Structure 1
Amino acid sequence: MAKGYWVSVYPVISDPEALAAYNELAGQAVRAAGGRVLSRGGRVVAHEDGIAQRVVLIEFDSFEEAAAAYESESYQKALVALPDGFARDFRIIEGID
Structure 2
Amino acid sequence: MSAYWVTTYREVLNQDKVAAYAALAGPALEAAGGTFVARGMPEQVYEEGAETRVVVIRFDSVQAARDAHDSPAYAEALAALDGGAVRDMRIVPGVD
* Alignment partner, residue 35 of structure 1: 34
SS of corresponding position for 1:11: strand
Runs of 5+ unmatched residues, structure 2: none
Q: Does 1:78 pair with 2:77?
A: yes
Q: 1:57: which partner in 2?
A: 56
Count of residue correspondences: 96
Which residue number in structure 1 is paired with residue 25 of structure 2? 26
1:1-12 paired onto structure 2 within 5 Å: 2-12=1-11
Cα root mean square deviation, aligned: 1.4
> Percent same amino acid among aligned pairs?
43
TM-score (norm 1): 0.89
Q: Pick which of 39-48 and 72-81 moved more.
A: 39-48
Higher strand share: 2
Q: Contact conserved, 1:44 with 1:54, CA < 8 A, in 2? A: no
Runs of 4 or more above 3 Å deviation: none
